[in-house]
Amino acid sequence: MKKLIALALAVVMVLSLGACSVQKAETPAPTQAAAPAATEAAAPAAPEAAPVEISLWTYPIGNWGKQEVVDQLLAKFNAAYPNIKVTVEYLTYTDGDDKVNTAIEGNAAPDIVMEGPERLVANWGAKGKMVDLADLWTDEAKADIYASVEAACNNGSGAYYEYPLCMTAHCMAINKTVFEETGAWQYVDAETHTWTTENFLKAVQTLYDAGYKTVGAVFCSAQGGDQGTRALYNNMYGGTFTNAEHTEYTMNSPENVKALETLYAQDGINFDASINGGEEADLFAQGVLQMAFCWNAATHAARTEVIGDSFEVFPMAFPSPNGTDVKLCGGIWGFGIFDNGDSAKVDAAKTFIKWVCDENTLESVSTSGFWSVRQSVADPYADDALKSVYGTFMQYMGDYYNVTPGWTEARAAAWNMLQQIGTGTPVQEAADAFVATANAAAGK
Amino acid sequence: MANKKISVNPKSRRLMVHETVTAYLFLLPFLIFFVGFVLYPMIMCIITSFFDATMGREDIFIGFGNYKELFADPVFWKALWNTLIIVLVSVPVTCIFSLWVASAISKMPVAATSAFRCIFYLPVVTGSVAVTMVWKWMFNNYYGIFNYIGQATGMIDQPINWLGDPKYALGCIILILLTTSVGQPIVLYVSALDNVDKSLVEAAEGDGATQMQAFWKIKWPQIMPTTLYILVITTINSFQCFALIQLLTSGGPNNSTMTIMYYIYYNAFKLYRYGYGNAMGVILAIVIAILSAVQFKAGQEK
């Protein structure tokens, strides 16, 4: 009898394990947006369309990283399309790529992912994991969306792995209060928010001489916010990160080497391998640093409370030889669909993307805190004086070189290069090593 | 004399079969986990290490290509060197410090012993991310408490970029690792010291043995199994140091805190070089296995 009971217990244990795994599979995703009952009731019934559940994984692109905001958007979407249920997972830039990569390798990739062309086109798209969205790119869309954005969303062979929603131009920021107090304000063109490289260096020296020993930090602990450091050394003497065809990395050009040598030698500029872009922005907001190289409208909005009334933030373009020939790094964000082999889910995902980008454009864009990729869409922040300043930087949008082959490896090698320079490796040597690594990755 | 055939009662045989089946059924859940989450990944790791494996295309068999590349990779050697430094520093320091603390607190009243056990075990049960973030603040170049105290006491003139300077970064990692590593050994040593036969110690002291002699001749041999376990576990944990590196330095600056575990992650997850990462994993497993075997052998001989 005892043996029988023991056997029965063992069977129960094994079965319970199986049951546990089944239960896990049925557990709903972290957040699930469904239309409120009243809205659903009001929505037109569509009995012919079978319900489809799709997953959206989104990086923290403005308020697209906030559940309470996204839930409202999804409720509105469900009012129009009650048969498509969208579950959302919110990623961070710290471990988001790892999560997505693990999911891809485990055949559990989300249906939709929201990010930029460097991931959707140059990485997962190039690896054959994304659905071609060419059918979403109608003639009307192509005519309306900025040509540079369209080029970034295209793999160069006619396949579109991203349908874009919003964009911004990454800039830098200075502590206006301190600049005025120390006399460094004279080097700033306050009207155009620009400055020459010569004036930038004079301003840094003025602040340093006034006692601010760390005016700015060339952060390089990891890749986070690295568009800021790239824009800094590319613009100072007119260098480029890649060639115009996006086939080769050109970081070791004399212009870039001169810029990095100048920065390394400049009092008040610290090559800091202990912080990344987000941490640099935090230090600026706390008043520890007097300028931030990793900045944009959303970065500013996220730190408004910390900054408070302690000082006035003044957004600036990066310094360039004559001040106005600046080329800012652009940020483009939109949606891609992973090829999970389910056409019904792909269709539902396309419906969702079209609704977000084409039907509910203004709200979707303003949720991001950035600007529309469509020329026909008005500035969502026309009444906001500060936001409007950030909007003026769009005229300086430079080449979107993040889609160059080998970008992932090149990006990792770039912050390693800055660390080497910061620890005394000659700039030309470090830059040559970077270019060799990056071009080898591009050629694979 | 002819061999006498032993006859087994059919009822006993049925009983034996039942007991064997029952035992295996009880083992089955663990076996499923072991095969699924340990054995299968290990075998896959070894197989993949012979392939040029990446995302989005079929794997290409390259034999020992990954291993050849590995031994010519300066960053791998740097990572191996850093890992060995971490192991060679943290393992003896953890063991000696834990034994010293355990010896001191095991003589205290029960309440005090429990309190100290809790205090030293707190970093173990606290999430590694939370602990690491606090250390990151303390080491901060701009407002960290270490620079503040150093400058206030005149020990340093300029703030030190603890985690951003190759001279200090690895030392900082080892220091944090120590604080999170000593909790479990202390608890184990306190229990082991409590289990030492008191009558033997008293008899030795009665015969004129000093406290030191009583420790080395009576207590130390009796806590040797615990020491061996702590040595092996601490060695493995030190070899697998990853979270600290990922959260604090990403292997930098200039690879000065790169460890084998982080380099495996970097290659597999950042560069999509699965075969290369797995080859490194195999080498790491072999190194750990050899060291653990040596430790076990040394412990048994003692």
Nearby residues of A200 by Cβ (< 8 Å), 6 or more positions away: A187, A236, A319
The model's pLDDT over B239-269, given as tens digits with 9 standing for 90+, comes to 888 989 999 999 989 899 999 999 999 999 8
% of chain A residues with pLDDT over 70: 89
- Domain(s) of CATH 3.40.190.10: residues in chain A: 33-168+331-386, 171-327+405-443
Would you give the distance in Å from CA A221 to the centre of its chain? Answer: 18
Q: How confident is the model at residue B154 (pLDDT cuts 50, 70, 90)?
A: very high
> CA-based angle B87:B91:B95, to the nearest 5?
175
Q: What is the pLDDT of residue A27?
A: 35
Q: What is the mean pLDDT of residues B162-179?
A: 94
From chain B, the residues in CB contact with A14 under 8 A are 25, 28-29, 32
CB A391 within 8 A of CB A379: yes
Query: B269, exposed or middle or buried, with CB in 10 Å at 0-12, 13-18, 19+?
Result: middle
Q: How confident is the model at residue A44 (pLDDT cuts 50, 70, 90)?
A: very low
Domains of chain B with bracketed CATH: 66-126+177-301 (1.10.3720.10)
Inter-chain contact A6–B250, Cβ cutoff 8 Å? no
The model's pLDDT over A201-239, given as tens digits with 9 standing for 90+, comes to 999 999 999 999 999 999 999 888 999 999 999 999 999
Q: What is the pLDDT of residue A40?
A: 39
Alpha helix stretches (DSSP H) within A393-426: 407-422
Residue B13 to residues A1, A2, B10, B21: CA-CA distances in angstroms? 17, 17, 5, 12
Closest of A72, A67, A76 to residue A29, by C-alpha:
A67
ipTM of the complex: 0.80
Question: From the CA of A276, how many Å to the nearest CA of chain B?
Answer: 10
From chain B, the residues in CB contact with A127 under 8 A are 55-57, 272
Q: What is the pLDDT of residue B301?
A: 62
CB half-sphere exposure, A327, CA atoms < 13 A: 14
Q: What is the pLDDT of residue A287?
A: 95
Question: From the CA of A407, how many Å to the nearest CA of chain B?
Answer: 10
A33-168+331-386: CATH class = alpha beta
CB B154 within 8 A of CB B146: no
Describe the crossing of helices A197-209 and A226-236 by its angle, rounded to 10 degrees: 110
Alpha helix stretches (DSSP H) within B143-273: 145-152, 166-181, 183-194, 198-206, 211-214, 220-222, 224-239, 243-248, 260-265
From the list A13, A17, A419, the residue facing B254 with the nearest CB is A419
Q: What is the mean pLDDT of residues A264-269?
A: 96
Query: A283, exposed or middle or buried, with CB in 10 Å at 0-12, 13-18, 19+?
Result: buried
Torsion, CA A222, CA A228, CA A229, CA A231, rounded to 10:
140
Mean pLDDT across chain A: 88
Q: What is the pLDDT of residue B138?
A: 95
Query: A229, exposed or middle or buried, with CB in 10 Å at 0-12, 13-18, 19+?
Result: buried
From chain B, the residues in CB contact with A290 under 8 A are none
Query: A405, exposed or middle or buried, with CB in 10 Å at 0-12, 13-18, 19+?
Result: buried
Residue B153 to residues A376, B146, B163, B172, B193: CA-CA distances in angstroms? 62, 11, 21, 20, 40
Inter-chain contact A221–B252, Cβ cutoff 8 Å? yes
Closest of A368, A384, A386, A376 to residue A165, by C-alpha:
A368
Q: What is the pLDDT of residue B56?
A: 84
CATH for A171-327+405-443?
A: 3.40.190.10
From chain A, the residues in CB contact with B166 under 8 A are 423
| Residue B95 bridge partners (DSSP) | none
From chain B, the residues in CB contact with A289 under 8 A are 142
Question: From the CA of A7, how many Å to the nearest CA of chain B?
Answer: 6
Q: What is the pLDDT of residue B201?
A: 87
Closest of B55, B32, B10 to residue B275, by C-alpha:
B55
To test the contact with chain A by mutation, choose from B254, B262, B270, B271 the residue with the greatest count of A C-beta atoms within 10 A, namely: B254
Tokens of B183: 């909790």
